[in-house]
Amino acid sequence: MERKTASTLAINAAGIAVALVLFFPVLWIFLTGFKSEADALAIPPTFFFAPSFEKYAYAFQEGEFLSFFSNTIILVGASVLLSFAFGLPAAFSLAFFPGKRANDILFFALSTKFMPGVAVVVPIYILYTKLHLVDTLFGLVLMHVALGIPIVLWLMRRFFTELPAEIIEAALVDGASRAHIFWKIALPLSIPGLATTAFLLIIMAWNEFFFAVNLAGRSAAPLTVYMASFFTSEGQTWAQMSAAATLSVLPILLLGWIASRGLVRGLTSGSVQ
């Protein structure tokens, strides 16, 4: 028995050690934001230093963090909701009432993710110019929803198909309408799946850079563009950049950490039959 405890202890220690090593780069960028520019460049690296909030304060105020942050929140919130609004009924229908073309539709949805953004950005830009959608949150949301729908379709169809078939059967036998099945049965039973899907959509929308930088000017620019504004072409400012990077990733990290347990549960229940 003693050998067993020793080896479990070793495994626990190894797990935590590996996690710390792999997490170190993230920790390092947090710390660097509290340094002076000279300390940020110092070799040997400074592990102990008097922390300064100056870089964070600057990133927050002069960088107008809040206005980019609120853009990101609106962008992420609206695009996740709309992706669900379009994608959920389709996923539901594909899962429970698939027609002959169900697989074609699925593959078509997936294939839209293959198009590299650079290849479509010019036509979209021209179209947006005509419709006065350039540099509007509405325009960016429209684009993000197109990126989100295929994910909702694929993941949610998967989660829906794994609901116990008998429950749906029974409801149909009872003469329940599709709307009833959708709202009262399928959705409540798929909450872990919905959470997982929403989480992935949020991560992707939060971190999307390419369309943001191409279709937004200043008024609609989200945090990825804010972050890019700290890549300077004159003057290497690692501490400043680190502070800005930390501010831009911290909210999504916190969310990820809060959601992580649910995420494993979601993925697990989604894949267990």
Partner 1 sequence: MTTLSETIADYPAGAQRRPVSGRWMTWPAVAYLLLMTQAPFVVTVYLSLHSWNLLYPMKGVRFVGLANYGSLVADNAFRMAAVNTAVFTLITVVATALLGLGLALLLDRMTAGRGFAYTLLLAPFLLMETVVPIIWKNMIFHPIYGLLNWFIGLFGLAPLDLVGQHPTFAILTIVSWEWTPFMMLVLLAGLQSLPQSLREAAALDGAGPLAVFRYLILPHLKPFFAVGMLLETILLLPMFGPIYVTTYGGPGYSTENLTFDVFRLLTQQYEVGKAAAGGVVTAAITIVLTMALLRYLRPVIERR
Partner 2 sequence: MKLVGVTLSLAMVLASTTAMAKTTVTLAFVNNPDMVVLKELAPEFTAKNPDIDLQFQVLPENVLLNSITQDVAVGGGRYDIVNTGTYEVQGSWVKNQWLAPLDPLFAAMSDDERKAYDLDDIIKTERDALSVDGKLYALPVYGESSFTMYRKDLFQKAGLTMPDNPTWEQIREFACKLNDPAHGIYGISMKGVSDYSQLAPFITLMHSFGAKWFDMGWHPQITSPEFKKAFTFYINLLKDCGEPGASSVGFNEGLTLMSQGKAAIWVDATVGASILQDPKSSKVVDQIGYALAPTQGSSNGSAWLWASGIGIVASSKHQKEAFKFMTWATSKEYIKLVAAKYGVVRMPPGTRYSTYKDPDYLKVAPFAEETLKAIESADLTHPAKDQVPYTGTAHVDIPEYAAWAADFAQNFSAVVAGTMSIDDALQHSQETAEKVMKEAGYIKD
The item of partner 2, partner 1, none sharing an interface with residue 51, based on CB under 5 to 8 Å by kind, is none
The item of partner 1, partner 2, none sharing an interface with residue 110, based on CB under 5 to 8 Å by kind, is partner 1
Site mask, partner 2, residues 126-145, x = CB under 8 A?
x-xx----xxxxx--x----
Specify the stretch interacting with partner 1 by CB under 8 A; choose among 58-66, 130-138, 162-170, 187-195.
Answer: 162-170
Which residues lie below 8 Å from residue 34, measured CB to CB, with a gap of 6+? 49, 51, 52, 53, 55, 56, 239, 243
Quote the CA–CA distance of 13 and 25 in Å, as a whole number. Answer: 20
Helices (H), the chain: 2-32, 37-41, 54-61, 65-96, 102-111, 117-131, 137-161, 165-173, 178-180, 187-189, 191-207, 210-215, 223-228, 238-271
Site mask, partner 1, residues 79-108, x = CB under 8 A?
-------xx-xx-xxxxxxxxxxxxxxxxx
| Nearest distance, CB of residue 149 and partner 2, angstroms | 13
Spatial CA neighbour of 206 closest among 233, 186, 226, 224:
224
- Residue 260 tokens read as 């992580």
Tell me which of 98, 230, 255, 269 binds partner 2, using CB under 8 A.
230
- Residue 171 tokens read as 């409801």
Spatial CA neighbour of 150 closest among 102, 93, 101, 111:
111
Q: Whose Cβ is closer to partner 2: residue 15's or residue 217's?
A: 217
| Nearest distance, CB of residue 250 and partner 1, angstroms | 10
Q: Please report whether residue 168 would count as binding partner 1 according to CB under 8 A.
A: yes
Which residues lie below 8 Å from residue 69, measured CB to CB, with a gap of 6+? 223, 251
The verdict on whether omega for the bond into residue 150 sits within 30 degrees of 0, i.e. cis, is no
In the window 70-129, what residues touch partner 2 (CB under 8 A)?
Answer: 74, 78, 81-82, 84-85, 88-89, 122, 125-126, 128-129
- Residue 172 tokens read as 């149909």
Count the site residues for partner 1 by CB under 8 A: 101
DSSP secondary structure of 192-246: HHHHHHHHHHHHHHHH--HHHHHH--STT--HHHHHHTT--SSS--HHHHHHHHH
Q: Please report whether residue 6 would count as binding partner 1 according to CB under 8 A.
A: no
Q: Whose Cβ is closer to partner 2: residue 42's or residue 258's?
A: 42
Tell me which of 120, 185, 204, 213 binds partner 2, using CB under 8 A.
213
The item of partner 1, partner 2, none sharing an interface with residue 219, based on CB under 5 to 8 Å by kind, is partner 2
Task: List residues near partner 2 by CB under 8 A.
Answer: 37-38, 41, 43, 62, 74, 78, 81-82, 84-85, 88-89, 122, 125-126, 128-129, 134-138, 141, 213-214, 217-221, 225, 228-236
